[in-house]
Structure 1
């Protein structure tokens, strides 16, 4: 079966669909999500971060600080009546009883403090709610005093970038919601509203894509110690959501995000991004792979149509435009809350362009070889190459004048043999002799002009220029004579007598090219040189190679030849001095 472009496109599409289903090229998908989908937008000033930064560590000493400092911070913030206070700092163990008690009382008085828990999981997980093996919670008393608790587990993709938020997991059959969800839920309760988790576009692992608002360090971050010292008045936090978390390098609580794959974002700022997404209800729902597969198929069908209907340049430009539309459409749909997969369709379209180039190149090579093999059985390979090279120009009628060496070879004794052998045997014998003449001509880079019954005509130095073409013609003739010995022996054993070649060679000016009509033409040479060579062949005796004087003068230092004197040939008034080739030096 001949391989066609549609077969190549079908194989590429099948591979792309398989990779899409298995998520093989997730890195390509991540690239488009990060660089095409995610775009910065204004941060919500209602969200404020109180940062445990380097300045605070310098002012308050090394971490961990006394729980009394946290109690003082909660009381100070509470004076300003913020909507929610949330610590992105774990308090899993007790410290001294007095400071712990102060902290518990402050949290209880505030009534709007959310505290974190942290789950530990096994290395593998199956689709569905993830089950935690262990759960680290606030110490006894503090958990009861908190308005809510939520997990701060962060799950990165294979490239260590945080792109999804884990909504919940289970621990001993109890659902543990995320830190940001509990903050958002408490915030909505204080506004007299209700948070609706059914709107979250969760995947099989209870995750949803994060629509980041900002790159690192865009949310307002106030130093922890500045709040304690009163440098920032408490009423500044009125009606705000206050997130308290590490900002210093030593905490190692930072992650790469789609907004910047070089500069890490502090964990508390990632919570701020997720929280703003929840507040704005800016959810991004991933299309099922079947819909993405349908889009991929449609794009490939359109690309194939363009490849078939347009020339290569226009088709490539059209596919490039299609890719641009695809990317623009993906970005538009992202704004509408739909996360379209670009990591497979766009590369597939690009690879399709490359595949078309390779396919066309290989097809042209195969076709050129096929035409050369088939057409070369009827005309010389040089003529085929010239036609393929020049296209239609190579098929125009016309000729060029050049000095050529023309060789004619005929089989002597063929008529008597025809009377004794069957027609099928005659064809077999003739084919063997003609194959011998053709191979000798090609070996010396000559052009096989035509077969004329049991005769062969060859030209040297056309269509391609050939150095020392008289000598190459002489070598071809001598090879024919030597090769005929074995054939003659075979015929003698079979029929009682053999046949020999008669060869004539002449060098001189001639016109060569496409001769004939527009509907039927022949690549050949015409002129007196051709006629003379034919006359020399007709005067050659069985087994004799006759050279004209012009050919002899060009090769005499490299051959053994005997002068046969001057002969008269039909069509010429003056005699021709001829020589018999007896060997090569």
Structure 2
């Protein structure tokens, strides 16, 4: 039973939906999501980063710095009245310099708007819902009490180590810890007389929300830490702004890859800035339910199937490619509307449809070619089948080509008496055996079996394929027939007391070959005096005799042993022709 293209597309769709459900090829989906959906926009000037950068490390020495430096920074910033000051640096324990610790605690307490980070530790595998931490790292007790708020800085990259979402909350014991960025955003909104509405967050099954990044790394304003301490940047520069203080050097190992840049990592403090801006701009995104993605893929596969069924292969491929482009364009539009579409899986599906359609078309054509060759080859020579298949419609047009051909006619001598003694079924079997023997010999030496005519056969050489030494090939065919028929002759003699043998005539000369007949019924054959002469030579041959014309003899005399028989008068010719009897091969 022949496999249809529809079930193939259906199976591809089912497999791709299963892989999407399992998340097996999420890396491909992420690729299209990052390249097509994420778009650059202007950074929010309400957010400023104070960078613990290489220059500051040169000025203040190796990390960690004395906490008196942090106290001085907080006091200087407070003079400018920023909306929020947030440290993306942990302070889990007091230092040996208790005076510096106290200075820092006092400065944080006086500022009243400092957010400090906490960090949770989670089990290796987390279930859906609100995640629970096994342990937590917080600021030491006095500093935590002095801070206006704390928020977690846990970063959870996707499987390809790219940060695309952030954890909103997690549970630790009886308390719920909000994220660092959300806490900063909430405080900023409250300072401006507005409310932060968590209901607007579009959380996934693990309590994460998507980060709609603003730009590539390094786009937010980053002011060296020491530039603020030295007064180079005045405090009023930060008035009513969100001030993030965090590492901005590679030695801190606080760098992550983001959708905006697959080669350049972004510092953690800048990721927090991107999260805060997406919250300020209310650019909330949520992933489309996988069932809708599955429905879209099924519809696209059905569209592709329709194209490949109705259109030429090239147009179908182009139409499917256009469908993929429309999908990407639609995915980008939906992303701007807050919906994340799994375009990667759909593009993979359409690509697989194109690939399998090409393979299917190729295999189908090969199988059809084989089927036609097997069926058609029972009626005409395999060379003719190949020529027609190769030339397509051109090969089925009426017309002919003139060329020098060698034509061989073979007939069974003694068949009529045998048919009178044998049963009809036996007669047919004997006839088929002889004709199959003749056909095999013709094919063995590159001839084209033109037709069977009752108990006779006609073969041509040098058409449709060019054949070197075509006259020699015809003579070799005739001799092979004579030798191969001896076994069959003995069996018939023993069974019926009668035998049959071949009578063969061969002639070389110009002839026209091609599709001869009408549009309704045509025959691939050769016509002309050369064909008629070969037929006449066969008609005058005796049982077991192979007669060659003069033109054939001249071409094969170096290969064949032939005895001259003089001139023969053949029907349809006024003058006799010189003939020879083939006696063997050299």
TM-score relative to the length of structure 2:
0.97
Alpha-carbon shift at residue 232 of structure 1 (Å): 1.8
2:3 aligned with 1:3, yes or no?
A: yes
Q: What's 1:446 paired with?
A: 447
Cα contact 2:204–2:286 (8 A) shared by 1: no
Distance in 2 (CA, whole Å) between partners of 1:203 and 1:56 is: 39
Q: What's 2:411 paired with?
A: 410
Alpha-carbon shift at residue 125 of structure 1 (Å): 2.3
Q: What's 1:567 paired with?
A: 568
Q: What's 1:298 paired with?
A: 299
Distance in 2 (CA, whole Å) between partners of 1:493 and 1:129 is: 97
Alignment of 1:363-512 (within 5 A): 363-512=364-513
Cα contact 2:156–2:165 (8 A) shared by 1: yes
Alignment of 1:552-563 (within 5 A): 552-563=553-564
Q: Secondary structure at the match of 1:522?
A: strand
Q: Secondary structure at the match of 1:367?
A: helix
Alpha-carbon shift at residue 574 of structure 1 (Å): 1.4
Alpha-carbon shift at residue 437 of structure 1 (Å): 0.7
Q: What's 1:523 paired with?
A: 524
Distance in 2 (CA, whole Å) between partners of 1:157 and 1:275 is: 20
Moved more, 171-180 or 500-509: 171-180
Distance in 2 (CA, whole Å) between partners of 1:446 and 1:82 is: 98
Q: What's 1:67 paired with?
A: 67
Moved more, 490-499 or 366-375: 490-499
Q: What's 1:336 paired with?
A: 337
Distance in 1 (CA, whole Å) between partners of 2:456 and 2:190 is: 106
Q: Secondary structure at the match of 1:344?
A: helix
Q: What's 1:80 paired with?
A: 80
Distance in 2 (CA, whole Å) between partners of 1:244 and 1:401 is: 92
Alpha-carbon shift at residue 321 of structure 1 (Å): 2.1
Moved more, 320-329 or 373-382: 320-329
Tell me the alpha carbon deviations over residues 34-66 of structure 1, each in whole angstroms, 9 at most, x when there is no partner: 111111101111111111112222222221111
Distance in 1 (CA, whole Å) between partners of 2:498 and 2:90 is: 111
Alpha-carbon shift at residue 199 of structure 1 (Å): 2.1
Tell me the alpha carbon deviations over residues 213-269 of structure 1, each in whole angstroms, 9 at most, x when there is no partner: 011111111121121222222222111111110112211111111111111111000
Q: What's 1:48 paired with?
A: 48
Alignment of 1:99-498 (within 5 A): 99-498=100-499
User: Measured at CA, do residues 135 and 532 of structure 1 come closer, stay the same or move farther in structure 2, by a change above 3 Å?
Assistant: same
Distance in 2 (CA, whole Å) between partners of 1:489 and 1:125 is: 88
Tell me the alpha carbon deviations over residues 429-477 of structure 1, each in whole angstroms, 9 at most, x when there is no partner: 1111111111111111111111011101111111121110011001111
Q: Secondary structure at the match of 1:141?
A: helix
Q: Secondary structure at the match of 2:512?
A: strand
Q: Secondary structure at the match of 2:343?
A: coil
Distance in 2 (CA, whole Å) between partners of 1:5 and 1:481 is: 51
Q: What's 2:31 paired with?
A: 31
Distance in 2 (CA, whole Å) between partners of 1:173 and 1:327 is: 45
Cα contact 2:52–2:247 (8 A) shared by 1: yes
Alpha-carbon shift at residue 419 of structure 1 (Å): 1.2
Q: Secondary structure at the match of 2:193?
A: coil
2:90 aligned with 1:90, yes or no?
A: yes
Q: Secondary structure at the match of 1:130?
A: coil
Distance in 2 (CA, whole Å) between partners of 1:446 and 1:252 is: 80
Distance in 1 (CA, whole Å) between partners of 2:257 and 2:72 is: 33
Q: Secondary structure at the match of 1:343?
A: helix
Q: Secondary structure at the match of 2:12?
A: helix
User: Measured at CA, do residues 243 and 379 of structure 1 come closer, stay the same or move farther in structure 2, by a change above 3 Å?
Assistant: same
Distance in 2 (CA, whole Å) between partners of 1:494 and 1:161 is: 88
Moved more, 466-475 or 11-20: 11-20
Q: Secondary structure at the match of 1:429?
A: helix
TM-score relative to the length of structure 1:
0.97
Q: Secondary structure at the match of 2:161?
A: coil
Give ranges in structure 2 of 5+ residues lacking alignment: none
Q: Secondary structure at the match of 1:481?
A: helix
Tell me the alpha carbon deviations over residues 108-128 of structure 1, each in whole angstroms, 9 at most, x when there is no partner: 122111110111223222222
Tell me the alpha carbon deviations over residues 353-386 of structure 1, each in whole angstroms, 9 at most, x when there is no partner: 2332222222222211211111011011111122
Q: Secondary structure at the match of 2:467?
A: coil
Alpha-carbon shift at residue 15 of structure 1 (Å): 2.2
Alpha-carbon shift at residue 337 of structure 1 (Å): 0.6
Moved more, 407-416 or 346-355: 346-355
Q: Secondary structure at the match of 2:567?
A: strand
Distance in 2 (CA, whole Å) between partners of 1:420 and 1:392 is: 48
Alpha-carbon shift at residue 173 of structure 1 (Å): 4.5
Alpha-carbon shift at residue 335 of structure 1 (Å): 0.6
Distance in 1 (CA, whole Å) between partners of 2:22 and 2:431 is: 64
